[in-house]
Structure 1
Amino acid sequence: MRPASARVLVVQHEDKAPPGLLLPWLERAGLTCEVLPAHEGYALPATLTEHVALVVLGGSMSATDDREHRWLLPTRALITSVVAGGMPFLGICLGHQLATVALGGEVAAHPQGRTRGLLPWSPTPAGRTDPLTHVLDERDELLHWNGDVATVLPRSAEVLARAPDGTVQAVRLGARAWGVQFHPEVDADIVLGWTEGQQPEAEVAALHELRSRQDELHPAWERLLRRFGELASAPAALPA
């Protein structure tokens, strides 16, 4: 039985990338979330002692922009501690990239340019049976909004899905740790704040499609986040 006060620590990097639908969906899985806005100067813990899991959200900065964003280094250190300790972790977009770097991999600008829009879930055989990602169906579509991608994965990582261009879409980073390049936590109002005019046609098209289809898309995204909540509250170790 999960403790009544089970909480997830959610690290946020900027105002325009809030936890969004992550909060109600994890609450439906029986967990509560404590959001730590690291960009506002709040100190990150060295490890988790009062939380059952860690979620690290996306952001517009790169995973190694430590000089301009000084909380990224302690965020990577916290991720390392959580994954090494076998505690549940989910990295979303930048969070996935931070975990990749923290655990020994590499991240770089996407050689084909920025990705904006809905892409199909394209699992590997491992992704079809993984404790987290098996809840997604190959007909599901996921919102990608990123400029960087994981180019070298940590040695122990297992690819769970690849986007149509071959880049990593989802990865298992440890016994109870995952990274996803897409954004299962957003709605069109959040994504509106990400439009920068650098790729106006792609941005407008992606935003329009998300706004018109989000009622259709959200059930699959909710299944994924609620499944993470279930795994986060499970006391037993997961299968390798």
Structure 2
Amino acid sequence: MTSSEISLVAGVAETMLTEQLLARLPDNLAPAPWTCTCAAVLWTGCATRATAQALPSGIGNGARPLGVMGAMVRYSDTPVGRYDEVLGAVMFRRRLGIRGTVAFMAVDSETSLVGGRANWAMPKTLARFDGEVVAGGTMTARGALDTPWSIAASAKPIGPALPIVSSMVVLQQFAEGDVRSSKLHAKGRVRPAVVSVDVDDKASLSTWLRSGRHLGGIVESMTFTLDEPRPVRVG
């Protein structure tokens, strides 16, 4: 994938890359699939009228938004090393299936940025991170490029850690406009939690990834694999 194609991956306004960043990005060093180990704080939210506008055009047609998922993630082992991440995803129904698409994602690793965009069309941008993804801690992410935004999340556990095994299908729109499907398989331990989220209200991100108290979880540990994407017909 060329730097032009990397820049054209579909995402919300906060994921736009600068020409200066594109000029210095490395090659894609780790093709799909990736297997990663992480800890995280994640939360869920209701769909609003603005949620549909966060969907790329190739995915939004015929999709009914059901909700939003946000997460702060600290990766301890990936094919491109350690890094931090924040994301916002839209869950939606299409025909009889429930799918997800990542509309916003930011990391503090240029190598991860390239791999995410080139392999899966994850709209990764650059951010700076402070804090920890632990019970009672706060993790904050701030945009590192021209478009200002910030997100902070802290989690209060409301139950014991439980083992989980899950899988889901992720649809992403690539630079050429085609949509591809990837399967995610995850296994780990999660504590149910109430997550307090603060999204910069001057950022358009805040219209669908909303501030407030949300049901969610503290991922104490998780290992997941995101498979190589396959073409899919949408519509």
Q: TM-score, normalization: structure 1? A: 0.29
Is the helix fraction higher in 1 or 2? Answer: 1
From the two aligned structures, give the one with the greater strand fraction: 2
TM-score, scaled relative to structure 2: 0.30
